[in-house]
């Protein structure tokens, strides 16, 4: 029997990482080929321990404190790494050095396939108009660094998650309407009928793109930039789906970027307004990007089931918790 390839996962107790772990453990075939290692901050936590109970190896690791040597030690023997950094607003600049260390450590540990949770380079996509999305930029800079550093020693792939469906549950999207035209309004710098939002269920579909890249192998996956999207959908259709499944009338309305930003509090307003505008006016990955989704979908591992539709996501999350 050939030895299983070790896939190390950062953020294994969070949405994306747990989805990847479920994807591999949910398939006999995949789990006969890949063994999982979770790089976790607190191995004794209940979420880490439930991974261990499912056969996932735990290695203690913290993005803040691990230098290149410590990270390389944690990765020793790994075939692949699903690498992420996490957004701490106000400290977005920490993400580039953290990600750079992960690239260097992966090279030092002999990792063959580095899969980076990247995001679009917003200043380039928007020609410098949107400047409040440093957590996007820093992830994009890690991607650039990986491309320079990898030489021919390691394949690198980039999975750029779209707008999380969960934002409509945990976020600040829908607000009670101020008039009797609707129950809830979703406002922002988008065009209700013309904009295309790249929604994804992060808990389920991101892992299937990562598996698709692993299964395609380093030669085919090297340099691939994946638009990780479950469904492209207009704001009008997003709210229409919520309306039809909840019985609450929800509408989507355009508000110009600067006006929208002025409604929002301090540090939060910039990134929130910019990210809606990136979706609403630039198709998130760049204008027209929805029209070449098929190139990314080549790497979606459909053996684990179809993509999650927005309708199915809302159905699964009823009663839909509106903000009050
Ligand atoms: N919301 C969106 O629409 C959207 C879209 C695209 C991309 N994103 C990106 O998605 C990321 C969040 O992903 P997610 O939802 O999968 O995460 P999540 O569910 O919030 O979980 C965070 C994970 O990161 C781990 N973690 C946090 N700090 C760490 C550290 N210092 N060292 C090691 N591990 C650490 C946590 O582990 P423990 O707590 O167990 O230690 C946990 O597993 C963010 O970076 C965000 O920018 C979001």
Annotate 108-122 with DSSP letters as a single string.
HHT-SEEEEEE---H
Rounded distance from Cα 266 to ligand 1 centre (Å): 23
Residue 324 confidence (pLDDT) above 70: no
Q: Is pLDDT of 37 > 70?
A: yes
Could you tell me how far CA 9 lies from the centroid of its own chain? Answer: 14
Please state the rounded mean pLDDT for residues 165-189.
91
Cα(306) to centroid of ligand 1, in Å? 24
Q: For residues 35 and 83, give the distance between their C-alpha atoms in angstroms, rounded to a whole number.
A: 16
Query: Which of 90 and 261 is assigned the larger pLDDT?
Result: 261
In degrees and rounded to multiples of 5, residue 132 shows phi and psi of -105, 15
Instruction: Specify the residue with its C-alpha closest to ligand 1, atom 14.
Output: 15
How many other CB atoms sit within 10 Å of the CB of residue 248? 16
The Cα–Cα gap between 228 and 160 comes to: 6
- Distance (Å) from CA 25 to ligand 1 centroid: 21
Q: Which of 102-111, 148-157, 267-276 has the lowest mean pLDDT?
A: 267-276
Q: What is the pLDDT of residue 86?
A: 93
Question: What is the mean pLDDT of the segment spanning 147-158?
Answer: 97
pTM: 0.97
> Looking at ligand 1, which residue's alpha carbon is closest to its atom 15?
15
* pLDDT reported for residue 92: 82
Dihedral over Cα of 289, 20, 301, 308: its sign: negative
b/e per residue 194-220 (b: at least 16 CB within 10 A): ebbbbbbbbbbbbbbbbbbbbbbebee
The H or E element spanning position 318 is: none
Q: Give pLDDT tens digits for 293-315.
A: 999 999 999 999 999 999 999 99
Helix-then-strand count for the chain, H and E: 15, 13
Residue of the CA atom closest to atom 33 of ligand 1: 62
- Residue 190 parent element (H or E): none
- Alpha helix ranges (H) inside 118-179: 122-125, 134-149, 167-170
C-alpha–C-alpha distance, residues 309 and 317, integer Å: 13
Structure confidence at residue 50 as a pLDDT band (50, 70, 90): very high
Q: At what angle do helices 68-75 and 95-109 cross, to 10 degrees?
A: 50
Alpha-carbon span 113 to 134, nearest angstrom: 26
Q: How many A from CA of 14 to the centre of ligand 1?
A: 6
Q: Is the confidence at residue 322, as pLDDT, over 80? A: no
How much is the average pLDDT of 43-49?
Answer: 98
Whether omega before 198 lies within 30 degrees of 0, making that bond cis, reads no
Per-residue pLDDT reduced to its tens digit, 7-32 = 999 999 999 999 999 999 999 999 99
- Residue 321: pLDDT over 80: no
Q: Is the confidence at residue 323, as pLDDT, over 60?
A: no
What pLDDT is recorded for position 1? 62
Ligand 1 centre to CA of 11 (Å) is 6
Is the pLDDT at 102 greater than 60? The verdict is yes
| pLDDT confidence bin for 163, thresholds 50/70/90 | very high
Burial label for 242, CB within 10 Å (0-12, 13-18, 19+), is buried
**How high does pLDDT run on average in the chain?**
95
List the residue whose alpha carbon is closest to atom 35 of ligand 1. 11
Whether residue 107 is predicted with pLDDT greater than 50 in this model: the reply is: yes
Taking residue 22's Cβ as centre, other Cβ atoms within 10 Å add up to 16
Between 321 and 288, where is the model more confident? 288
Report pLDDT digits (tens) over 197-207: 999 999 999 99
Domains and CATH numbers, the chain: 5-316 (3.40.50.720)
Whole-Å CA distances, 70 to 58, 108, 165, 287: 15, 11, 35, 41
Q: Please report the pLDDT score of residue 99 as a whole number.
A: 98
Q: Tell me which of 9, 10, 11 to substitute to probe ligand 1's pocket, judged by most ligand atoms within 8 Å of the beta carbon.
A: 11
């Amino acid at each position: 029997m050939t030895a299983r390839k070790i896939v190390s996962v950062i953020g294994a107790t969070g949405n994306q990482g747990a989805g990847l772990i479920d994807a591999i453990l949910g398939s006999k075939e995949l789990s006969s080929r890949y063994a999982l290692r979770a790089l976790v901050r607190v191995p004794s936590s209940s979420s880490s321990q439930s991974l261990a109970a499912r056969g996932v190896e735990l290695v203690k690791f913290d993005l803040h404190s691990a230098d290149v040597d410590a990270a390389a030690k944690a990765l020793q023997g790994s075939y692949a790494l699903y690498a992420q950094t996490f957004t701490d607003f106000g400290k977005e600049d920490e993400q580039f050095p953290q990600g750079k260390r992960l690239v260097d450590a992966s090279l030092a540990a002999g990792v063959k396939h580095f899969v980076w949770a990247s995001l679009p380079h917003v200043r380039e996509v928007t020609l410098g108009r949107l400047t409040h999305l440093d957590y996007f930029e820093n992830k994009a800079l890690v991607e650039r660094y990986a491309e320079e550093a990898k030489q021919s020693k390691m394949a690198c792939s980039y999975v750029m998650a779209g707008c999380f469906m969960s934002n409509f549950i945990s976020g600040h999207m829908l607000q009670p309407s101020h008039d009797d035209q609707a129950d809830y309004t979703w406002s922002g710098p988008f065009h209700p009928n013309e904009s295309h939002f790249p929604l994804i269920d992060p808990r389920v579909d991101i892992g299937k793109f990562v598996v698709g890249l692993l299964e395609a192998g380093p030669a085919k996956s090297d340099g691939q930039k994946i638009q990780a999207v479950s469904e492209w959908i207009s704001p009008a259709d997003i709210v229409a789906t919520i309306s039809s499944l909840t019985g609450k009338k929800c509408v989507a309305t355009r508000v110009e970027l600067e006006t929208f930003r002025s409604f929002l509090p301090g540090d939060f307003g910039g990134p929130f307004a910019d990210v809606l505008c990136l979706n609403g006016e630039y198709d998130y990955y760049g204008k027209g990007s929805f029209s070449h989704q098929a190139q990314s979908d080549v790497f979606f591992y459909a053996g684990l089931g179809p993509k999650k539709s927005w309708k199915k996501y809302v159905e699964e999350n009823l009663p839909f918790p509106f903000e009050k």
